[in-house]
Chain A
Amino acid sequence: MSKKVIHKDFHGALSVAFDYILKKYGKNILEEYLKICARKIYRDLIEKIKKEGISAIEGYWKNIFSLEDAEFTIEKEKNRITLEILKCPAIYHIRTKGYLLSKEFCLQCHVINREIGKITGFKSEVYSEKGKCIQIFEKIK
Protein backbone atom coordinates (compact mmCIF):
# COMPACT_ATOMS: atom_id res chain seq x y z
CA MET A 1 0.00 0.00 0.00
CA SER A 2 1.45 3.40 -0.94
CA LYS A 3 2.16 5.85 1.86
CA LYS A 4 -0.10 8.89 2.07
CA VAL A 5 1.79 12.09 1.25
CA ILE A 6 1.35 14.85 3.80
CA HIS A 7 2.74 18.39 3.93
CA LYS A 8 4.88 18.27 7.06
CA ASP A 9 6.22 21.80 6.61
CA PHE A 10 2.94 22.93 8.20
CA HIS A 11 4.46 21.95 11.57
CA GLY A 12 7.12 24.60 10.97
CA ALA A 13 4.51 27.22 10.11
CA LEU A 14 2.59 26.41 13.29
CA SER A 15 5.73 26.70 15.39
CA VAL A 16 6.52 30.13 13.90
CA ALA A 17 2.91 31.16 14.58
CA PHE A 18 3.17 30.09 18.23
CA ASP A 19 6.42 32.01 18.60
CA TYR A 20 4.78 35.12 17.14
CA ILE A 21 1.76 34.96 19.47
CA LEU A 22 3.98 34.29 22.47
CA LYS A 23 6.28 37.24 21.79
CA LYS A 24 3.59 39.72 20.74
CA TYR A 25 0.66 38.79 23.01
CA GLY A 26 1.99 36.46 25.73
CA LYS A 27 1.40 32.91 26.90
CA ASN A 28 -2.15 33.54 28.18
CA ILE A 29 -3.30 34.57 24.70
CA LEU A 30 -1.60 31.53 23.16
CA GLU A 31 -3.49 29.36 25.65
CA GLU A 32 -6.78 31.08 24.82
CA TYR A 33 -6.23 30.41 21.14
CA LEU A 34 -5.38 26.75 21.79
CA LYS A 35 -8.56 26.31 23.84
CA ILE A 36 -10.53 27.52 20.81
CA CYS A 37 -8.60 25.08 18.61
CA ALA A 38 -9.57 22.24 20.96
CA ARG A 39 -13.26 23.04 20.72
CA LYS A 40 -13.39 23.85 16.99
CA ILE A 41 -10.86 21.54 15.33
CA TYR A 42 -11.64 18.54 17.51
CA ARG A 43 -15.42 18.96 17.54
CA ASP A 44 -15.98 15.61 15.78
CA LEU A 45 -13.47 13.79 17.98
CA ILE A 46 -15.12 15.22 21.11
CA GLU A 47 -18.52 13.90 20.00
CA LYS A 48 -16.98 10.51 19.26
CA ILE A 49 -15.31 10.34 22.69
CA LYS A 50 -18.64 11.18 24.33
CA LYS A 51 -20.20 8.21 22.52
CA GLU A 52 -17.39 5.66 22.40
CA GLY A 53 -15.07 6.69 25.26
CA ILE A 54 -11.43 5.60 25.29
CA SER A 55 -11.67 3.67 22.00
CA ALA A 56 -12.26 6.95 20.16
CA ILE A 57 -9.05 8.40 21.60
CA GLU A 58 -7.17 5.24 20.68
CA GLY A 59 -8.48 5.33 17.12
CA TYR A 60 -7.60 8.99 16.69
CA TRP A 61 -4.06 8.58 18.05
CA LYS A 62 -3.37 5.47 15.93
CA ASN A 63 -4.56 7.22 12.78
CA ILE A 64 -2.71 10.51 13.27
CA PHE A 65 0.57 9.18 14.59
CA SER A 66 0.78 6.43 11.96
CA LEU A 67 0.11 8.99 9.25
CA GLU A 68 2.80 11.26 10.67
CA ASP A 69 5.34 8.42 10.90
CA ALA A 70 5.79 8.78 14.66
CA GLU A 71 7.47 6.25 16.91
CA PHE A 72 4.80 5.57 19.53
CA THR A 73 3.08 3.04 21.74
CA ILE A 74 -0.45 3.03 23.15
CA GLU A 75 -1.52 1.25 26.31
CA LYS A 76 -5.26 0.95 26.84
CA GLU A 77 -6.87 -0.01 30.12
CA LYS A 78 -10.52 0.09 31.17
CA ASN A 79 -10.58 3.73 32.29
CA ARG A 80 -7.22 4.97 31.20
CA ILE A 81 -5.22 5.29 27.99
CA THR A 82 -1.54 6.17 27.72
CA LEU A 83 0.32 7.32 24.63
CA GLU A 84 4.08 7.32 24.64
CA ILE A 85 5.74 9.22 21.81
CA LEU A 86 9.38 8.28 21.40
CA LYS A 87 9.98 10.62 18.47
CA CYS A 88 7.55 13.49 17.97
CA PRO A 89 7.06 13.79 14.19
CA ALA A 90 6.43 17.54 14.37
CA ILE A 91 9.54 18.39 16.40
CA TYR A 92 11.65 15.97 14.35
CA HIS A 93 10.53 17.61 11.10
CA ILE A 94 11.07 21.14 12.44
CA ARG A 95 14.60 20.26 13.56
CA THR A 96 15.44 18.43 10.34
CA LYS A 97 14.32 21.36 8.19
CA GLY A 98 15.91 23.97 10.42
CA TYR A 99 12.65 25.78 11.21
CA LEU A 100 12.28 27.79 14.38
CA LEU A 101 11.10 25.62 17.28
CA SER A 102 8.91 27.68 19.61
CA LYS A 103 9.80 27.21 23.26
CA GLU A 104 6.08 26.67 23.86
CA PHE A 105 5.52 24.26 20.99
CA CYS A 106 4.40 21.45 23.31
CA LEU A 107 1.84 23.70 25.00
CA GLN A 108 -0.60 22.65 22.25
CA CYS A 109 -0.79 19.08 23.58
CA HIS A 110 -1.13 20.22 27.20
CA VAL A 111 -3.94 22.72 26.52
CA ILE A 112 -5.81 20.83 23.78
CA ASN A 113 -5.82 17.52 25.69
CA ARG A 114 -6.92 19.31 28.88
CA GLU A 115 -9.80 21.02 27.07
CA ILE A 116 -10.93 17.84 25.32
CA GLY A 117 -10.75 16.01 28.65
CA LYS A 118 -12.72 18.73 30.42
CA ILE A 119 -15.56 18.47 27.90
CA THR A 120 -15.63 14.67 27.72
CA GLY A 121 -15.09 13.78 31.38
CA PHE A 122 -11.44 12.75 31.36
CA LYS A 123 -8.48 13.93 33.39
CA SER A 124 -5.56 14.69 31.11
CA GLU A 125 -1.86 14.60 31.84
CA VAL A 126 1.01 15.40 29.48
CA TYR A 127 4.70 15.05 30.26
CA SER A 128 6.90 16.35 27.46
CA GLU A 129 10.61 16.81 27.03
CA LYS A 130 12.95 17.12 24.04
CA GLY A 131 10.68 15.64 21.40
CA LYS A 132 9.42 12.80 23.58
CA CYS A 133 6.24 12.75 25.60
CA ILE A 134 3.69 10.76 27.52
CA GLN A 135 0.01 11.67 27.21
CA ILE A 136 -2.65 10.19 29.47
CA PHE A 137 -6.45 10.38 29.53
CA GLU A 138 -8.14 8.92 32.61
CA LYS A 139 -11.92 8.68 33.01
CA ILE A 140 -13.22 10.78 35.90
CA LYS A 141 -15.49 8.57 38.03
Chain B
Amino acid sequence: MISCTEFILAYNELFKFLHENFGKEAVVDFWIYISDKFLDNLDKLVKEKGIAGMAEYWTHTLTEEKAEYVMDVRENRFSIYMKKCPSVSIMNKRKVKKYKHYCEHCDILYRRIIEKYGFSYKIKFIDKNKGKCFVMIRKKY
Protein backbone atom coordinates (compact mmCIF):
# COMPACT_ATOMS: atom_id res chain seq x y z
CA MET B 1 0.00 0.00 0.00
CA ILE B 2 1.26 3.39 -0.87
CA SER B 3 1.01 5.08 2.51
CA CYS B 4 -0.51 8.54 2.67
CA THR B 5 2.96 9.68 3.82
CA GLU B 6 4.27 8.53 0.41
CA PHE B 7 1.42 9.98 -1.64
CA ILE B 8 3.23 13.17 -2.65
CA LEU B 9 6.03 11.08 -4.13
CA ALA B 10 3.50 8.96 -6.06
CA TYR B 11 1.69 12.09 -7.26
CA ASN B 12 4.96 13.63 -8.44
CA GLU B 13 5.89 10.44 -10.32
CA LEU B 14 2.46 10.40 -11.95
CA PHE B 15 2.87 13.95 -13.25
CA LYS B 16 6.29 13.05 -14.70
CA PHE B 17 4.98 9.78 -16.16
CA LEU B 18 2.04 11.45 -17.90
CA HIS B 19 4.22 14.29 -19.22
CA GLU B 20 6.94 11.98 -20.55
CA ASN B 21 4.47 9.63 -22.25
CA PHE B 22 1.57 11.85 -23.27
CA GLY B 23 2.73 15.49 -22.98
CA LYS B 24 1.92 18.34 -20.60
CA GLU B 25 -1.66 18.51 -21.84
CA ALA B 26 -2.25 15.07 -20.33
CA VAL B 27 -1.01 16.34 -16.96
CA VAL B 28 -3.32 19.36 -17.11
CA ASP B 29 -6.26 17.11 -18.10
CA PHE B 30 -5.51 14.98 -15.05
CA TRP B 31 -5.43 18.01 -12.73
CA ILE B 32 -8.80 19.15 -14.09
CA TYR B 33 -10.22 15.68 -13.45
CA ILE B 34 -8.90 15.65 -9.87
CA SER B 35 -10.38 19.11 -9.26
CA ASP B 36 -13.78 18.02 -10.59
CA LYS B 37 -13.92 14.54 -9.10
CA PHE B 38 -11.98 14.70 -5.86
CA LEU B 39 -12.34 18.20 -4.42
CA ASP B 40 -16.09 17.99 -3.78
CA ASN B 41 -15.48 18.87 -0.12
CA LEU B 42 -13.78 22.18 -1.01
CA ASP B 43 -16.48 22.88 -3.62
CA LYS B 44 -19.24 22.32 -1.06
CA LEU B 45 -17.55 24.46 1.60
CA VAL B 46 -16.98 27.40 -0.76
CA LYS B 47 -20.48 27.13 -2.18
CA GLU B 48 -22.11 27.09 1.25
CA LYS B 49 -19.78 29.26 3.36
CA GLY B 50 -17.65 31.29 0.94
CA ILE B 51 -14.44 32.57 2.54
CA ALA B 52 -15.22 30.85 5.86
CA GLY B 53 -15.42 27.57 3.93
CA MET B 54 -12.00 28.20 2.37
CA ALA B 55 -10.54 28.83 5.82
CA GLU B 56 -12.12 25.63 7.12
CA TYR B 57 -10.82 23.53 4.22
CA TRP B 58 -7.23 24.80 4.21
CA THR B 59 -6.90 24.89 8.00
CA HIS B 60 -7.77 21.18 8.03
CA THR B 61 -5.55 20.09 5.13
CA LEU B 62 -2.54 22.29 5.88
CA THR B 63 -2.56 21.32 9.57
CA GLU B 64 -2.63 17.62 8.75
CA GLU B 65 0.11 18.13 6.17
CA LYS B 66 2.18 20.15 8.66
CA ALA B 67 2.65 23.16 6.40
CA GLU B 68 4.29 26.36 7.59
CA TYR B 69 1.94 29.11 6.50
CA VAL B 70 0.18 32.33 7.39
CA MET B 71 -3.52 32.51 6.62
CA ASP B 72 -5.32 35.85 6.51
CA VAL B 73 -9.11 35.64 6.56
CA ARG B 74 -11.12 38.82 6.01
CA GLU B 75 -14.69 39.61 4.99
CA ASN B 76 -14.01 39.88 1.27
CA ARG B 77 -10.57 38.36 0.84
CA PHE B 78 -8.61 35.32 1.82
CA SER B 79 -4.89 34.71 1.49
CA ILE B 80 -2.31 32.08 2.30
CA TYR B 81 1.38 32.86 2.47
CA MET B 82 2.96 29.45 2.16
CA LYS B 83 6.34 29.64 3.84
CA LYS B 84 7.16 25.96 3.51
CA CYS B 85 5.02 23.85 1.22
CA PRO B 86 4.68 20.36 2.74
CA SER B 87 4.83 18.64 -0.67
CA VAL B 88 8.01 20.42 -1.74
CA SER B 89 9.55 19.76 1.68
CA ILE B 90 8.91 16.02 1.35
CA MET B 91 10.47 15.93 -2.13
CA ASN B 92 13.47 17.96 -1.03
CA LYS B 93 13.97 15.78 2.03
CA ARG B 94 13.76 12.58 -0.02
CA LYS B 95 15.99 14.11 -2.72
CA VAL B 96 13.60 13.20 -5.53
CA LYS B 97 13.47 15.02 -8.84
CA LYS B 98 10.44 17.29 -8.71
CA TYR B 99 8.20 17.47 -11.79
CA LYS B 100 9.18 20.72 -13.48
CA HIS B 101 5.59 22.06 -13.47
CA TYR B 102 4.68 20.55 -10.08
CA CYS B 103 3.54 23.80 -8.42
CA GLU B 104 1.10 24.58 -11.23
CA HIS B 105 -1.34 21.96 -9.98
CA CYS B 106 -2.28 24.28 -7.08
CA ASP B 107 -3.27 26.91 -9.62
CA ILE B 108 -5.44 24.65 -11.78
CA LEU B 109 -7.03 22.49 -9.08
CA TYR B 110 -8.25 25.32 -6.88
CA ARG B 111 -8.89 28.09 -9.41
CA ARG B 112 -11.62 25.99 -11.07
CA ILE B 113 -13.57 25.80 -7.84
CA ILE B 114 -12.90 29.24 -6.37
CA GLU B 115 -13.74 31.23 -9.53
CA LYS B 116 -16.97 29.32 -9.99
CA TYR B 117 -18.39 31.00 -6.89
CA GLY B 118 -17.62 34.64 -7.69
CA PHE B 119 -14.06 35.00 -6.42
CA SER B 120 -10.81 35.87 -8.18
CA TYR B 121 -7.84 33.56 -7.60
CA LYS B 122 -4.22 34.62 -7.95
CA ILE B 123 -1.15 32.60 -7.07
CA LYS B 124 2.40 33.92 -7.08
CA PHE B 125 5.21 31.40 -6.94
CA ILE B 126 7.93 33.05 -4.87
CA ASP B 127 10.40 30.17 -4.82
CA LYS B 128 9.35 26.86 -6.34
CA ASN B 129 12.47 25.06 -5.10
CA LYS B 130 11.87 26.05 -1.49
CA GLY B 131 8.08 25.75 -1.71
CA LYS B 132 7.19 29.40 -1.10
CA CYS B 133 4.11 30.92 -2.69
CA PHE B 134 1.31 33.37 -2.07
CA VAL B 135 -2.36 32.81 -2.84
CA MET B 136 -4.80 35.73 -2.87
CA ILE B 137 -8.54 35.20 -3.27
CA ARG B 138 -10.92 38.15 -3.48
CA LYS B 139 -14.68 38.44 -3.64
CA LYS B 140 -15.72 39.95 -6.99
CA TYR B 141 -18.28 42.73 -6.83
Contacts and interface: CB of A to CB of B under 8 A. Distances in A.
Does A associate with B in a complex?
yes
B4 A6 contact: yes
A108 interface: yes
Nearest to B6: A41
A88 B65 CA distance: 21
Contacts of B30: 17, 20
Contact of A13 (B5, B7, B66): B7
A17 B2 contact: no
Contacts of A29: 21
A91 B34 CA distance: 19
Interface of B: 1-11, 13-14, 17, 21-22, 30, 33-34, 37-38, 61, 63-66, 94, 96
A88 B3 CA distance: 11
Interface stretch (A32-40, A51-59, A74-82, A116-124): A32-40
A9 interface: yes
A111 B126 CA distance: 38
Contacts of A16: 33-34, 37-38
B13 A13 contact: no
A10 B11 CA distance: 10
A: interface residue count bin: 20 to 34
A98 B114 CA distance: 22
Contact of A68 (B4, B33, B34): B4
A5 B63 CA distance: 9
A112 B7 CA distance: 14
A32 B13 CA distance: 11
A86 interface: no
Contact of B64 (A7, A41, A90, A108): A7
Nearest to A20: B33
Contacts of B6: 41
A13 B15 CA distance: 14
Given A5-B64, A16-B37, A68-B1, 20 more contacts: A5-B63, A6-B4, A6-B64, A7-B64, A7-B65, A8-B4, A10-B8, A12-B38, A16-B33, A17-B14, A21-B14, A37-B2, A37-B9, A37-B13, A64-B1, A68-B3, A88-B1, A90-B1, A99-B38, A112-B2
A98 B63 CA distance: 22
Interface centre among A5, A7, A21, A37 (most CB of B within 10 A): A7
Nearest to B63: A5
A41 B8 CA distance: 10
A62 interface: no
Given A5-B64, A37-B13, A14 B7 contact: yes
